[in-house]
């Protein structure tokens, strides 16, 4: 489990039949105020928590989960994590927090065919993804957590409430599934998604000074080339309009 910086631990997703999102632990270790960014696929909770402990971190120091968005491959094992860390807070953008609290799982599954497949494969029932949300993010906040400052950016298009976390001091961007390595972007054919809006969100991210890109899947990049996000946006522009 590679450590990206002194304050970011990378927990790679374990893809099998379905993709499992990466997770990141952010915060200065001695702060005892750590944050887990994204959870992962159903059944991956023990792996994610075990990876945290192998790094020498205490689960008691994980105070919150911040979801970049609530698709199944990112939120699937949240219930498992909540069982092992009682009292852990859940922070989500309000556009996905409200449906989640009300039991509206369209954003979780993205499409009805995927809902049916997941419910059958994992023996899920309706309302399994109804959680209380401790903090509803809007975008534009500065989060002072774990001895660090992260800016919250609302970047919809892949989903209604997609967010990125940006640490300006060390030029680190955690964009969820909006932009990946290899000039790839998140899909925009799911519930609440939009190609044109995704294009606008890519334009927002392209304005940032980023050296470390930590997406939700595939490779991470620790020496991002200048204008990478803008080049990616340009490549996809004709598909997003």
155-208 pLDDT, tens digit each: 999 999 999 999 999 999 999 999 999 999 999 999 999 999 999 999 999 999
Query: Which stretch of DSSP H or E encloses residue 85?
Result: none
Confidence (pTM): 0.96
- Vertex 143: Cα angle to 215 and 221 (nearest 5): 20
224-238 pLDDT, tens digit each: 999 999 999 999 999
C-alpha span between 94 and 99 (Å, rounded): 9
75-133 pLDDT, tens digit each: 999 999 999 999 999 999 999 999 999 989 999 999 998 898 889 889 988 878 889 99
Quote the tokens at residue 101.
């609290």
- pLDDT for residue 1 is more than 70: no
Q: What's the total number of domains in the chain? A: 1
Closest to 74 (Cα-Cα) out of 35, 42, 104, 98: 42
What local confidence, expressed as pLDDT, does residue 3 receive?
A: 82
- Which residues constitute the domain of residue 235? 3-240
Indicate which CATH number applies to the domain containing 192.
3.60.15.10
Q: Which residues of 75-103 are buried (b: 16+ CB within 10 A; e: fewer)?
A: bbbbebbbeebeebbbbbbbbbbebbeee
């Amino acid at each position: 489990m590679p450590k990206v910086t002194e304050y970011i631990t990378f927990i790679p997703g374990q893809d099998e039949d379905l993709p499992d999102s990466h997770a990141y632990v952010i915060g200065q270790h001695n702060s005892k105020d750590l944050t887990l960014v994204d959870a992962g696929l159903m059944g991956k909770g023990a792996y994610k928590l075990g990876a945290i402990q192998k790094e020498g971190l205490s689960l008691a120091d994980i105070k919150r989960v911040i979801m970049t968005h609530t698709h199944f491959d990112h939120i699937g094992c949240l219930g498992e994590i909540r069982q092992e860390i009682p009292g852990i807070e859940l922070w989500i953008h309000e556009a996905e927090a409200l449906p989640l609290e009300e039991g509206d799982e369209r954003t979780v599954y993205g499409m009805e065919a995927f809902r049916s497949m997941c419910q059958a494969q994992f023996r899920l029932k309706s309302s399994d993804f109804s959680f209380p949300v401790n903090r509803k993010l809007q975008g534009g906040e500065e989060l002072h957590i774990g001895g660090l400052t992260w800016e919250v950016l609302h970047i919809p298009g892949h989903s209604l409430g997609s967010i990125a976390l940006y640490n300006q001091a060390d030029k680190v961007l955690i964009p969820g599934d909006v932009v990946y390595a290899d000039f790839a972007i998140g899909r925009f054919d799911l519930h609440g998604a939009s190609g044109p809006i995704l294009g606008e969100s890519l334009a927002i991210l392209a304005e940032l000074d980023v050296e470390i890109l930590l997406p939700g899947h595939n490779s991470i990049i620790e020496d991002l080339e200048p204008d990478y996000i803008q080049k990616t946006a340009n490549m996809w522009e004709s598909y997003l309009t």
